[in-house]
Amino acid sequence: MKGQSLLENPSQETTKNLTEHICPNCGHQGLSLFYEVRKVPVHSCLMMPNEKEALDFPCGDVVLGFCDHCGFITNVEFDSKWSAYAPNYEDQQSFSPTFNQFALDLANRLIEKYDLHNKDIVEIGCSKGDFLLLLCELGNNRGVGIDPSTVPGRVNSEAAERVTFIQDYYSQKHAEYVGDFICCRHTLEHIKPTAEFINTVRRSIGDRTNVAFFLEIPDTVRVLKDLAFEDIYYEHCSYFTPGSLARLFRSCGFEVTDLYRAYGEQYLLIEAIPTITTSKKVFPLEESLEEVAQDVKHFASNIGNKLQNWKQHLEQMQAQGKRIVVWGSGSKCVAFLTTLDTIDKIEYVVDINPHRHGKFIPGVGKEIKSPEFLKEYQPDQVIVMNPIYCNEIGQMLANMGVTTEVISL
C-alpha cells in the first residue's frame, strides 16, 4: 500500500480549481482542490481474515475539494460502489471506558432534554446498536436501528426485545420509521449526497413538527487547524464545519436548535426540528466562509511539513532499532500508516476491541493484537491514534507492567 500526498512538498501550489465538480451539499459548481492522497484502502474497518486479503484490498484516491459557496469539503474521487458496509465492518467503540462515559452522559442529556420516556426512537446508522439500546434502556423506550453493518444480538441489553434492527442502508423506503426522536451518529460523513440524505429524513418527518433530529459527526475545523491528516480517509467523503452543517440543515427545512462540540472538541453535534418556513437563526459557533477558507489555506500550506516530521520520526526510531506500536487499529491508524507510506516502520498494532483481534487491517496487512501482547513485546514507544484515550491507555499499560513512552497524534 502506498499513500502519496500531493502536499508533501510544502512549496508547491496548495490549491487548484475543479471547475467541473458540483458541490453535493449546496449544488454550487466549482470546487478548490487542496489535499490529495493516492492509493489508500477504500475501507478501513472491514476486517480481513488473512494478510494476503488485507494487502490485496482495493484502493482509491482521496482528493478533497472545498466549496467556497457553502464551506463544505468533499472527496471528489469518492465512488459509492465501494460502500460495502457489512457485519464485518468493525467500528464499535464501546470497549473504551472513556467513550462509554461520553455516550452515557450524552444519552442522559438527550433523554432529559426531549423527555424520551416510553417513546419510539429511530437511529440511522446505528452500527452494532450500543447507543440506541442505551437510550431505550435508560428511558424505557422502543427503538428501530437501521444500518447494513448491524449485528442483532451483539450487544447484551435488557431493552433488546424492544429494539428492531434493520440490516440495510437508510433510504426513502424507511420513511415509515420516524418515531418521536431521530438520531444519527457518525454516518453523514460516509455519505456523499449529503443534501439528498438530509432531505430524505426531512420528508420522512413530514408535518410532525414535534420530532427532533439529533446528528453527530467529526468536526472538520479541528482537522484543518490541527493538520489532523489521520482523520482523512476514503470512507469519509464528506467533511463539515459548524457553519456548513447548520446551513445544510436550514436549507433542508430544519430549524437548528443547538450546535456544539464535544468529546475533546473532536465531535460536532447538531439538534434540529422541522420547520415550514426557512429558519434564519444562526449560532455563534458557525464560522464565516472566509474563516473556513483561511483554515483550508492553513491546512494546505502546512500539512506537508507535518507529514515529513512524522516520517522522519518513524525512520529514526527504526534506524535506532526501537520497537514502536500503534494503539488503535481503526480508520485513524489506516490513514496514519498509508498516508505516510510507512507501514514497514511499525511492526505491531493493538486494539481493545476483541472482535478485531486476530484479524488483519485492510491495506495495511498487520494482524491486530490484544493489548495483553505488549506484556511480552515491551515496546519502546506506543503511538496513540487519539489523544483522548491517553490516560486510559497509560493506566492499562501500568496495570500490565509495561513501561514505555506514550505519545499521541
Residues 115 and 215 in one domain: yes
Q: What are the pLDDT digits (tens) for 291-335? A: 999 999 999 999 999 999 999 999 999 999 999 999 999 899 999
| pLDDT confidence of residue 347 | 87
| pLDDT confidence of residue 6 | 40
Where residue 123 sits, what CATH number does that domain have?
Answer: 3.40.50.150
Residues 279 and 331 in one domain: no
Residues 183 and 141 in one domain: yes
| pLDDT confidence of residue 35 | 97
Residues 258 and 386 in one domain: no
Q: What are the pLDDT digits (tens) for 86-110? A: 555 656 676 788 989 999 999 999 9
DSSP H/E element including 19: strand 16-22
| pLDDT confidence of residue 84 | 64
Check whether 199 has a pLDDT greater than 90. yes
Q: Is 293 exposed, middle or buried (0-12, 13-18, 19+ CB in 10 A)?
A: middle
Question: What one-character DSSP code corresponds to residue 92?
Answer: -
Residues 120 and 254 in one domain: yes
185 located within any domain: yes
Q: Mean pLDDT across the chain, nearest whole number?
A: 91
28 located within any domain: no
Phi/psi region, residue 264 (left: phi>0; alpha: psi -120 to 50; beta: rest), is left
Residues 141 and 246 in one domain: yes
Which position has the higher pLDDT, 87 or 343? 343
324 located within any domain: yes
Given 263, 283, 303, which residue is the final one in a domain? 283
Check whether 79 has a pLDDT greater than 50. yes
329 located within any domain: yes
Residues 219 and 108 in one domain: yes
Where residue 383 sits, what CATH number does that domain have?
Answer: 3.40.50.720
| pLDDT confidence of residue 44 | 86
Give mean pLDDT, residues 110-137: 96
Which position has the higher pLDDT, 239 or 80? 239
Residues 158 and 250 in one domain: yes
Residues 316 and 244 in one domain: no
80 located within any domain: no
| pLDDT confidence of residue 94 | 62
Confidence of residue 1 (pLDDT cuts 50, 70, 90): very low
Residues of the chain with pLDDT > 70, as a percent, come to 94
Phi first, then psi, for residue 137 (nearest 5°) are -65, -50
Residues 152 and 249 in one domain: yes
Query: In terms of residue numbers, what domain contains 254?
Result: 97-283
User: Could you tell me which residues come within 8 angstroms of residue 125 by beta carbon, excluding any fewer than 6 positions away?
Assistant: 146, 147, 170, 184, 185, 186, 187, 190
CA distances from 183 to 110, 126, 187, 391 (A): 10, 9, 10, 30
358 located within any domain: yes
| pLDDT confidence of residue 5 | 42
| pLDDT confidence of residue 12 | 40
Give mean pLDDT, residues 150-163: 84
Nearest alpha-carbon partner for 223 in 249, 241, 250, 244: 241
Which position has the higher pLDDT, 53 or 45? 53
Give mean pLDDT, residues 56-82: 94
| pLDDT confidence of residue 11 | 34
Residues 350 and 398 in one domain: yes
41 located within any domain: no
- The structural domain count of the chain equals 2
SS (H, E, C) 160-222: HHHEEEECCCCCHHHCCCCCCEEEEECCHHHCCCHHHHHHHHHHHHCCCCCCEEEEEEECHHH
Q: What are the pLDDT digits (tens) for 237-272? A: 999 999 999 999 999 999 999 999 999 999 999 999
Which position has the higher pLDDT, 185 or 93? 185
| pLDDT confidence of residue 7 | 39
Three-state secondary structure call for residue 48 = strand
Residues 167 and 271 in one domain: yes
49 located within any domain: no
